[in-house]
Structure 1
Amino acid sequence: MSVFNYFKANNNVQIKGKSAVKCDYKLKEPHGDIEAWTFQDIAFKAELDRHDDPELEKEAFILCAEEPAARARNIAELRDLIYERGECQPPRTDDAFLLRFLRARRSIPARAHRLLVRYCNFRDQNPHLWRDVDWFGLTRLGNLIEGVLFDRPDVGRLIICRLGLWDPDEFSIDDLLRGCLLMLEVGILQPKLQVLGGNVLLDCHGLTLKHIRQFSPAVALQIINIMGFAFPTHQRGVHVINCSRVFETLFHFFKRLAPVDELWKKVHFHGNDLNSLYRLIDPECLPKRYGGQRVEVSLAQWLTKIKKYKNKDFDNDMRSLGYAAD
């Protein structure tokens, strides 16, 4: 369900052209308390929505080759592959969990199975990124990781990693990876984001050799896996801005050590040229910091709101993935 449909369904407000929403409506909480909500509050609450929006069927067909009539059959075929081949032991095999892998691989069960095997192997090799991690404790990362909740169909969710703000003496590289991974794991609980996918913006402004020394080949491989090689996300693009030649050279060095994958074609280096970025991402979808029109949301703010609005289903989802939950 889109934010706009959620707004109309829960508050009986007529919205014209999906652009007339104001931030001073008095809305009812599910428990009957009255408080002033901003539009952003509504967007945060929609982050926990688990229902497939019929309005997304067209995008699901275009982006994921998904046909409603074939969905159950594809899920069953993927589940059969898991049991027949025995190559992985996923944390879950329910329909909702398997569907995200199908959507990330054009609804082809064999491709979805290969992705699931890589995902499970990555989890087995890096349990410290999930197991017993206090997900709410990652608010300490502040605005090192940000998101834009605009989710336009041609861009999807925009996730921003501001590498230059990272202090390696305060936060380990593992903490940074945990934060990125958490934003992705929670994000793909939403059917909308399973379909639309997203773009990653790596802002290297302020990046120094002290930061670069943290990127070993092993860490680089972890990043590649999280970006989509071993994660069920529809990765639409990775955009690197404000980067030096040193960082770009390092990237190409690690690329030679990594598996061959279509993902590499989606990595774009823009240097300090924002016009180059605009050719691939409309400024309407970018934060004002980058010449856009949107308001970014920090990881800390996002997790605080998720904690406020979460329910038992969310807690169960997090536990099934290995996270510590209330």
Structure 2
Amino acid sequence: MFREIAFRAELDRHIVPECEDQARILCGEDPDNRKNAIKELRDMILERGECIPPRLDDAFLLRFLRARRSIPARAHRLLVRYCRFREQNPRLWKDVYWYGLARLGNIFEGVLYDRPDVGRLIIGRLGKWDPDTTSAEELVSGMLLLLEVGIMQPKLQVLGGTALLDCDGMTLYHMRQLTPTVAVQAMNVMGYSFPLHQRGVHVINCSRIIEKLFYLFKRLAPVDAIWKNVYFHGYDNSSLHRYIDPECLPKRYGGYREAVSLGEWLTAIKQYKDDNFDKDMSSIGYGV
């Protein structure tokens, strides 16, 4: 029953009083000034002409404001990067049938237990990925879809998210598929060019060799700040628990929660979605 309630809530587009309070604290948002901030951002977009967003409505622009402490100038810079990233990588989103990405199965998971210190926990089980049947770019496409659907929910716009990369079963063959192009795409999707308040990236079950290879990607990061919230925990769950409360983690990491696979999540979205959801998805280029 809890899962069904949680699945239904994934399509909730209303902000509750509790979330309003959290928006003040986490996003610097003043409800009395929200309309003015949105208008200032919209005027900035039209006057500067640095990007052509897929939408200009209040709900869409508010995502970018919340991701940048409700400061229009910072939100505008993020929106420009978002639009530029989409222009440079149309294969990741253009006419992609969103439900078709359920084929990524258990590679991506989420824990539907969102709280202010962690936000939404998103898990990538990289060792479950078969590079012979799924390209690295398809993984990035799946990650982007996960975030695009999630960020429609006001609660997640406010709380943001934490990423957990599980390298159990990952080999050098996997790493060879992660080209510089794919690495830059992933870094853009995980916060640099996407309206998500990234709370941290935690790498678990990772050997020293794989960890060193990850550090090679640091040279490709658009800005050094992207790496300041990346943490490596080796095979030590207790190290992970210093940053993420076990109350938020699946049982395999010493926690108490049940994770939901991308396939399960998309199946539930498909069951409960409505015409507004289809309209939102088509407005940003996905096939419906």
2:42 corresponds in structure 1 to 79
Q: Is the 8 A contact 1:229 1:261 kept in 2?
A: no
Q: Secondary structure at the match of 2:233?
A: strand
1:296 corresponds in structure 2 to 259
Q: Is the 8 A contact 1:158 1:200 kept in 2?
A: yes
- Distance between the aligned counterparts of 1:62 and 1:152, measured in 2? 13
- Distance between the aligned counterparts of 1:54 and 1:76, measured in 2? 23
- Distance between the aligned counterparts of 1:203 and 1:322, measured in 2? 30
Q: Is the 8 A contact 1:204 1:240 kept in 2?
A: yes
1:140 corresponds in structure 2 to 103
State the TM-score, normalized to the length of structure 2: 0.98
Cα deviation, 1:234-274, whole Å, max 9, x if unaligned, reads: 10010000112222222222212222243321111111111
2:184 corresponds in structure 1 to 221
Matched, 1:188 2:151: yes
Q: Secondary structure at the match of 1:316?
A: helix
User: Which moves more between the two structures, 205-214 or 246-255?
Assistant: 246-255
Give the residue type in structure 1 aligned to 2:37: N
- Distance between the aligned counterparts of 2:179 and 2:136, measured in 1? 10
Q: 1:119 to 1:261 in 2, by over 3 A?
A: farther
Higher normalized contact order (CA 8 Å, seq sep 6+, divided by chain length): 2
Matched, 1:269 2:237: no
Aligned mate of 1:131, from 78, 88, 94: 94
Matched, 1:209 2:179: no
TM-fit CA distance, 1:275: 0.8
- Distance between the aligned counterparts of 2:252 and 2:221, measured in 1? 33
- Distance between the aligned counterparts of 2:3 and 2:205, measured in 1? 29
* Structure 2 portions without partners, runs of 5+: none
Give the residue type in structure 1 aligned to 2:58: D
1:253 corresponds in structure 2 to 216
1:173 corresponds in structure 2 to 136
1:63 corresponds in structure 2 to 26
- Distance between the aligned counterparts of 1:228 and 1:73, measured in 2? 25
- Distance between the aligned counterparts of 2:136 and 2:150, measured in 1? 21
Cα deviation, 1:191-243, whole Å, max 9, x if unaligned, reads: 00000001000000000011000111111100100110000001001000011
- Distance between the aligned counterparts of 1:212 and 1:253, measured in 2? 11
Q: Secondary structure at the match of 2:177?
A: coil
TM-fit CA distance, 1:154: 1.4
2:282 corresponds in structure 1 to 319
Give the residue type in structure 2 aligned to 1:315: D
Q: Is the 8 A contact 1:241 1:272 kept in 2?
A: yes
- Distance between the aligned counterparts of 1:115 and 1:302, measured in 2? 28
Q: Give 1 or 2: higher helix fraction.
A: 2
Cα deviation, 1:11-56, whole Å, max 9, x if unaligned, reads: xxxxxxxxxxxxxxxxxxxxxxxxxxx2211110110000111111
Give the residue type in structure 1 aligned to 2:185: Q
Give 1 or 2 for the bigger CA radius of gyration. 1
Matched, 1:244 2:244: no
Q: Is the 8 A contact 2:111 2:121 kept in 1?
A: yes
RMSD: 0.9
2:250 corresponds in structure 1 to 287
- Distance between the aligned counterparts of 1:173 and 1:253, measured in 2? 17
Q: Is the 8 A contact 2:172 2:210 kept in 1?
A: no
1:4 corresponds in structure 2 to none
Q: Is the 8 A contact 1:147 1:158 kept in 2?
A: yes
Corresponding residue pairs, total = 288
1:151 corresponds in structure 2 to 114
Q: Secondary structure at the match of 1:271?
A: coil
